[in-house]
């Protein structure tokens, strides 16, 4: 069975409501044997909304707040017990990139991602849940600003914002199927301990990172498997100052930012050593350097608290795509073994970390890319690097994860065009987050947290406008969308 056939199988007709629990099960079953059983058809209770958003992660949270604020009756479906997604569990040690400040000499200092993404930071500031946008004092040629967050306060803060906006929040609920009517999506299938239900809506948004909804709906997709997966940990009982002195002693501090930490100003909140472990880290003790290499550990962390490293990234390159359940099971075990090794390395080599322990792990491994969903437009490397803007921009962005090697021309911004967020060949489905942009180098910019959040505001707003106007995503007039986004505080650099 090829991918297209798989999509078709998972895209359910009105007569055959019901879904596989995951995309990989039928494919694996088909490969392994010819044994099948018939799943009995079921009558599902139907709930009706204007907008359904799948995935309450980085992009989905912002999308749902945006849609609900436009007056749309909005359902947000999330597999875990809390919203937040990869921002809270990935390895976003640098969770930055709201601004263009001083990475590029001579560039006008400006705040490029505003609107709801910035509102989240403002709310976090009120509860001591972020450092705010802190300028690098060393190594600002890569990213000029660090916006470290307290991941637990992030979950609570965005949960409250969703609630205040009137979003119907369905956590601990898994999206398991789509109900398609030709090229139009009528509903989705949602499973929870309350049973299996169908959610109908006028417009849908896929923010699942893996592109589950788009795949179930029959969209075209590929699985590039072009990144390692990760399970980043938080370490407690550690000293940031002593870690800094350790890296400094061996000449490998590549970035440093100071800011508020545990209520005190001018503390180290971001620290980066040579994470490739093949440059300025050459002088590090061999056991530490080689051990870190072996487990895919980067020498980068950030914090908002004393004696705490919020993220230590541990990577593992899977041999197959992370949509393969059985391969993922092996990777989950491997990553947890690597986490234990990481703690040993810190205890043995880094002064001040002798009694370090793991204070947090992610509930599942984290991905940088699962499925890549085909949209009406595919943002290219040249679009990003040449700082192109489009006549249907829905946001601008200015950071590239491969800086300073790859940077946006003249330290500028590029635009995310609306057409890049419309799922190809489906009338009423939008996508946002890591699942768009096929070119790996362009994706190294569009997949960043703050870009995903901005995309979220665009798709949530669009979905609400389409629902209100009873139109498909290709029928919505761009000037209406643009005006609505601008009124909600989104920043643009093109007419």
Ligand X SMILES: Cc1cc2nc3c(=O)[nH]c(=O)nc-3n(C[C@H](O)[C@H](O)[C@H](O)COP(=O)(O)OP(=O)(O)OC[C@H]3O[C@@H](n4cnc5c(N)ncnc54)[C@H](O)[C@@H]3O)c2cc1C
434 near ligand X, rule: CB under 6 A = yes
Using CB under 6 A, pick the residue from 209, 295, 379, 394 that binds ligand X.
209
222, β-bridge pairs: 372
Q: Do 84 and 158 form a contact (C-beta atoms < 8 A)? A: yes
207 near ligand X, rule: CB under 6 A = yes
396, β-bridge pairs: 415
Nearer to ligand X, 86 or 100 (CB): 86
185: left (phi over 0), alpha (psi -120 to 50) or beta: beta
155 near ligand X, rule: CB under 6 A = no
80 near ligand X, rule: CB under 6 A = yes
**Taking the complex as a whole, how short is the minimal distance between the CB of residue 479 and ligand X, in angstroms?**
27
Look up residue 343 and give its two tokens: 């703690």
Q: Which stretch binds ligand X (CB under 6 A): 342-350, 353-361, 444-452, 481-489?
A: 444-452
322 near ligand X, rule: CB under 6 A = no
Q: Which stretch binds ligand X (CB under 6 A): 38-46, 56-64, 328-336, 376-384?
A: 56-64
Q: Do 477 and 430 form a contact (C-beta atoms < 8 A)? A: no
368 near ligand X, rule: CB under 6 A = yes
Q: Which stretch binds ligand X (CB under 6 A): 10-18, 31-39, 53-61, 148-156?
A: 53-61
**Taking the complex as a whole, how short is the minimal distance between the CB of residue 294 and ligand X, in angstroms?**
17
The DSSP secondary-structure symbol of 366 reads B
148 near ligand X, rule: CB under 6 A = no
79 near ligand X, rule: CB under 6 A = yes
Number of residues that bind ligand X (CB under 6 A): 40
149 near ligand X, rule: CB under 6 A = no
Look up residue 240 and give its two tokens: 């940031």
- The gap between the terminal CA atoms of the chain, to the nearest Å, is 47
Kindly write down the DSSP assignment for every residue of 146-162, as one continuous string.
Answer: E--B-HHHHHHHHHHHH
Which parts of 167-239 fold into alpha helices (H)? 212-216
448 near ligand X, rule: CB under 6 A = yes
Q: Is 100 helix (H, G, I), strand (E, B) or coil?
A: strand
85 near ligand X, rule: CB under 6 A = yes
**Taking the complex as a whole, how short is the minimal distance between the CB of residue 147 and ligand X, in angstroms?**
9
Residue 3's nearest CA partner among 324, 365, 227 is 324
Q: Do 451 and 408 form a contact (C-beta atoms < 8 A)? A: no
**Taking the complex as a whole, how short is the minimal distance between the CB of residue 255 and ligand X, in angstroms?**
12
Q: Which stretch binds ligand X (CB under 6 A): 88-96, 156-164, 195-203, 238-246?
A: 88-96
Neighbours of 400 (CB within 10 A): 24
Q: Which stretch binds ligand X (CB under 6 A): 24-32, 36-44, 92-100, 351-359?
A: 92-100
User: What's the rounded Cα separation, in Å, for the pair 250 and 398?
Assistant: 32
370 near ligand X, rule: CB under 6 A = no
Residue nearest to ligand X (CB): 57
* Range 272-281, long-range pairs (CB < 8 A, 24+ positions): 272/93, 272/94, 272/139, 272/299, 272/300, 272/301, 273/247, 273/299, 273/300, 274/299, 275/299, 275/300, 279/252, 280/251, 280/252, 280/254, 281/250, 281/252
447 near ligand X, rule: CB under 6 A = yes
217 near ligand X, rule: CB under 6 A = no
User: What's the rounded Cα separation, in Å, for the pair 414 and 398?
Assistant: 7
Which residue do the tokens 């530490």 mark?
A: 288
User: Strands 203-206, 429-431: parallel, antiparallel or unpaired by DSSP?
Assistant: parallel
Q: Do 8 and 217 form a contact (C-beta atoms < 8 A)? A: no
Q: Which stretch binds ligand X (CB under 6 A): 77-85, 249-257, 323-331, 343-351?
A: 77-85
86 near ligand X, rule: CB under 6 A = yes
Nearer to ligand X, 147 or 267 (CB): 147
78 near ligand X, rule: CB under 6 A = yes
Nearer to ligand X, 131 or 232 (CB): 232
Using CB under 6 A, pick the residue from 44, 51, 53, 54 that binds ligand X.
54
59 near ligand X, rule: CB under 6 A = yes
392 near ligand X, rule: CB under 6 A = no
Within 162-181, which residues bind ligand X (CB under 6 A)? 174-175
Q: Which stretch binds ligand X (CB under 6 A): 127-135, 202-210, 260-268, 333-341?
A: 202-210
Q: Kindly state the helix (H) or strand (E) to which residue 169 belongs, with its residue range.
A: strand 168-170
Nearer to ligand X, 58 or 157 (CB): 58
Q: Do 223 and 209 form a contact (C-beta atoms < 8 A)? A: no
Residues lying near ligand X in the complex (CB under 6 A): 54-60, 77-80, 85-87, 90-95, 97, 174-175, 207-210, 212, 230, 232, 313, 366-368, 433-434, 447-449, 452
């Amino acid at each position: 069975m090829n991918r297209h056939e798989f999509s078709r199988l998972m895209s359910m007709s009105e007569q055959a409501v019901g879904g596989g629990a995951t995309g990989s099960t039928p494919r694996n079953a088909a490969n392994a044997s010819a044994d099948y059983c018939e799943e009995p058809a079921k009558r599902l209770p139907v709930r009706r909304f204007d907008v359904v958003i799948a995935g309450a992660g980085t992009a989905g949270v912002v999308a749902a707040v945006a849609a609900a604020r436009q007056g749309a009756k909005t359902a947000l479906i999330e597999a875990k017990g809390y919203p937040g997604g990869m921002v809270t569990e990935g390895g976003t040690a640098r969770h930055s990139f709201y601004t263009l400040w001083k990475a590029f000499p001579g560039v006008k200092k400006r705040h490029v991602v505003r609107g709801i993404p910035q509102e989240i930071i403002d709310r976090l500031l009120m509860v001591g849940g972020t450092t705010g946008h802190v300028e690098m004092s060393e190594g600002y040629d890569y990213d000029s600003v660090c916006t470290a967050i307290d991941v637990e306060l992030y979950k609570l803060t965005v949960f409250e914002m969703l609630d205040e906006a009137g979003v119907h929040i369905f956590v601990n609920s898994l999206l398991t199927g789509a109900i398609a009517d030709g090229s139009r999506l009528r509903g989705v299938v949602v499973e929870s301990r309350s049973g299996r239900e169908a959610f109908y809506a006028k417009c849908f948004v896929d923010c699942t990172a893996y592109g589950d909804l788009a795949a179930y709906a029959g969209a075209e997709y590929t699985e590039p498997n072009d990144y390692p997966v990760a399970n980043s940990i938080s370490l407690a009982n550690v000293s940031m100052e002593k870690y800094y002195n350790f890296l400094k002693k061996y000449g490998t501090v590549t970035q440093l930012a100071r800011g508020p930490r545990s209520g005190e100003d001018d503390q180290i909140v971001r620290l980066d050593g040579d994470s490739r472990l093949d440059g300025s880290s050459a002088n590090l003790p061999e056991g530490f350097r080689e051990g870190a290499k072996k487990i895919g550990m980067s020498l980068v962390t950030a914090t908002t608290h004393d004696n705490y490293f919020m993220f230590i990234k541990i990577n593992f390159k899977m041999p197959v795509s992370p949509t393969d359940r059985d391969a993922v099971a092996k990777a989950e075990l491997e990553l947890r073994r690597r986490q234990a090794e990481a703690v040993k390395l810190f205890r043995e080599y880094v002064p001040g970390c002798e009694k370090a322990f793991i204070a947090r792990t992610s509930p599942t491994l984290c991905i940088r890319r699962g499925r890549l969903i085909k949209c009406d437009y595919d943002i290219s490397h040249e679009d990003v690097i040449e700082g192109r803007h489009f006549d249907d921009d829905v946001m601008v962005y200015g950071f590239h994860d491969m800086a300073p090697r790859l940077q946006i021309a003249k330290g500028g911004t590029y635009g995310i065009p609306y057409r890049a967020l419309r799922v190809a060949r489906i009338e009423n489905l939008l996508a946002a987050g890591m699942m768009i942009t096929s070119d790996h180098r362009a994706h190294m910019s569009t997949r960043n947290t703050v870009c995903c959040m901005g995309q979220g505001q665009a798709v949530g707003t669009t979905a609400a406008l389409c629902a209100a106007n009873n139109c498909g995503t290709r029928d919505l007039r761009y000037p209406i969308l643009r005006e609505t986004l601008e009124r909600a505080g989104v920043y643009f650099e093109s007419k």
